[in-house]
Amino acid sequence: MSTRAAPLQAKAQLRGRGRAAVVGLERLLGPDYRMGILFVSPIVLLVLALVAYPFCYAVYLSMTRKYVGLPPVWVGLDNYVKITWDGFFQRAVANSFIFTFGSVGVKLVLGMAMALVLTSEIRWRSFWTGVLLIPWVAPTVVSALNFLWIFDYSLGVLNYLLVRVFRLLPQGVGWLSEPGTAMASVIGVNIWRGFPFFGISFLAGMKAIPGELYEAAAVDGATALQRFRHVTLPGVKNIVIIVVLLSTIWTFNDFQIVYILTRGGPGGATQVLPVFTYEIAFGAQRLGEAIAVALYMLPALAVVIIVLARYMRRGRAK
């Protein structure tokens, strides 16, 4: 048919000749375009309405002075400039980094140990994996409330154990009310909740390493440490990178644990960016400024997301 040679002609024939039109569209949009576009359109709508549009609106709002219920007033980059020099904001940024890197670092070590133990010859493996994953599936709010009760100064079980049962301390510690222990406590709860995800993901990665590699290493006389260093680590490298980056995003944006346990206290000692954002938006009712706080780390976040998305897609392509 002549439609193949002349695109303009093809366009003209679109209306008149159904078959030719379909062939033309298939060449332009791909062989499965009808079902493909139909099936993917709900996601397109959803991403546009629930993510892309709110995101653009957020960028706009961050450049306005906006109070709940009032129209926004354009102020350019004032919000960003203002919060940059704000001591509370600076502290929240510093705390967010401490919270994130403290949690992710320990989760990495703990998860790796968990995966290594579970790949060794061990009984009831599925029982251990099953139970150890429970903190990950349980509602985070419930876990945070449990720990709030465990950490309680006068009636909490942690002080009871340390003071009365094991006699390690002369008196109880205000875990969440003293600046020195509050950050460590919220980090501890985040680790408790998050390490199983590291362990199970690493375990899946280790299982995928061909057994012949270990046999070959054993024949060559490699020690356990050398096998870990030269066989296990390279085998799980991609998964480690993906899990660490994923967890970095999640931990940096974790709202519930700090909100429930300390609300950023005492005296701002555990104030992290998501809770700070919430307080400015719904405590102080300054929406524009709150969004500027939320978006301040966007360039860094965007880099992490893009790198991570690359790794995740590459992991799939194999």
- Beta-strand relationship, 73-74 and 64-65: antiparallel
Closest separation in Å from C-beta 76 to other proteins: 19
In contact, 89 and 83? CB cutoff 8 Å: yes
Which residue, among 173, 168, 171, 167, has the nearest Cα to 152 in the 3D structure? 173
CB closer to other proteins, 2 vs 80: 80
Mapped onto helix, strand or coil, the DSSP state of residue 133 is coil
Report which residue type is found at 282. F
The H or E element that residue 150 is part of is helix 140-150
Nearest approach, Cβ of 256 to other proteins (angstroms)? 5
Nearer to other proteins, 20 or 295 (CB): 295
- What minimum distance in Å lies between the beta carbon of 253 and other proteins? 4
Which residue's CB is nearer to other proteins, number 36 or number 234?
Answer: 36
Question: Given the complex with other proteins, which of 2 and 313 has the nearer CB atom?
Answer: 313
Residue 102 or residue 289: which is nearer to other proteins going by CB?
Answer: 289
One-character DSSP codes across 19-40: HHHHHHHHHHH-TTHHHHHHHH
Q: Residue 37 CB: number of other CB atoms within 10 A? A: 12
Give kind and range of the element (H or E) at residue 64: strand 64-65
CB of residue 273 to other proteins, shortest distance in Å? 7
Amino acid at 80: Y
Minimum distance, C-beta of residue 169 to other proteins, in the bound complex (Å): 16
